Chain A
Amino acid sequence: MFAQTTSTAQAVATTAECPECAGTVAFNGKTLKGEIVTCPDCGAELEVTGVNPITLDLAPKEEEDWGE
């Protein structure tokens, strides 16, 4: 009922469109859902919300109780 295991969650090499500026974000073959990447064009922090195909959304804003 939870997320996929990593053997099925990794994406193959591909690109995805930045939801902020429509720039192209490139990925290698080890991308995992939940990773944070930076758009090379506009610098927006993006979260990988899905793989196969890769989908991106703006990363959540830091909350006050985030940390270690």
Chain B
Amino acid sequence: MKIGLVYSRVRFEEKLIIEALTKRGIDHELIDDREIVFNLTPNSTAASNGHDTNLASPDDFKRFDVILDRAMEFTRGLYALQILNSWGVRTVNRAQVVALCGDKLLTTAALSQHGVPSPRTEIAFTPEAAMQAVESLGYPVVVKPVIGSWGRLIAKVNDSEAAEALFEHKSVLGHFLHEIFYLQEYIAKPGRDIRIIVMGDEIVSCIYRASAHWVTNTARGATASPCPLDAALEKIAQDAAHAVGGGFLAIDVIEDPTRGYLVNEINPTPEFRGSETATGADIPNKLIDYLMRVASSK
């Protein structure tokens, strides 16, 4: 068994995974995503100039039984996985899963397509259309970038004046993706959300993330505590995972006072420090077990 770990930074999570791999004597290599040069045309008949010895070709990755993606940059990780999967290399997660989960628009569309409850969401492509959408959603409304994490650049908009200003700023100052206006109803959650980590069909941890702020990411200072897993939570987590293709995922759920559980988003390269600390779950070793199951699957 040989496992490759593509990483950008060695964070708390990567350290624990590496320690667990070393302790179990599992052969592994660390692959810095900044150093890879993929040969995207390995069958090209163009003559080599002899200076391409660092080019990564399919055989360099087929040595691994499975590759774990821990890239911090969504775009970089996604493209690497797409190349590896096209070469027939097994990865956790698969590129198509990361493509869905890394884009909130695509995640919500997949959840809706599979009947998984999520907050009401509308998409607009111009500030004018976005204004119409927020007026129909009602204030407050939540505006999110389609690609982003750690609660970065999300906004709770309380009135039309703030909405107009925000949409103008996004339109004028932002990257073109900021003109994809992802607009969501504000859920009056009870000062917390729920994070469930799944690996395939197994649920390995479930925590509350509580904060006085409406944003409850642990990256923004929310505190983690164990959350009892009931049948409805278990079902919505598994349904959500299936909707995006499954894998090693962190599913974020919010509690709506009237509708119950709603899936807010799904993270395809989960950080699990809070989950591990709050529940005592041995996530690194469970992840290694999962990697080995994926590696030996047909």
- Which residues of A come within 8 Å of B, CB atoms? 1-7, 9, 32-36, 47-48, 59, 63-68
Contact = CB atoms under 8 A, between A and B. Distances in A.
Contact of B152 (A7, A32, A47, A64): A64
A64 B29 contact: no
Contact of B29 (A2, A36, A63): A2
Contact of B10 (A2, A4, A34): A34
Interface centre among A4, A6, A9 (most CB of B within 10 A): A6
B288 interface: no
Interface stretch (B15-23, B163-171, B255-263, B277-285): B15-23
Contacts of B72: 66-67
B35 interface: yes
Given A6-B18, A7-B22, A35-B10, A67 B28 contact: no
A65 B31 contact: no
A68 B10 contact: no
Interface of B: 4, 7-11, 14-15, 18, 21-22, 27-32, 35-36, 54, 56, 60, 72-75, 102, 145, 147-150, 152-153, 175, 219, 250, 267-271
Nearest to A3: B30
A64 B102 CA distance: 12
A13 B8 CA distance: 23
Nearest to B29: A2
Give me the 7 closest cross-chain CB pairs, A-B, nearest first: A67-B149, A34-B10, A65-B74, A68-B267, A2-B31, A3-B30, A35-B10
B9 A36 contact: yes
Contact of B270 (A32, A64, A66, A68): A68
Contacts of A6: 18, 21-22, 28, 30
Contacts of B11: 36
A66 B149 contact: yes
A63 B9 contact: no
A2 B30 contact: yes
Contact of B9 (A1, A4, A34, A67): A34
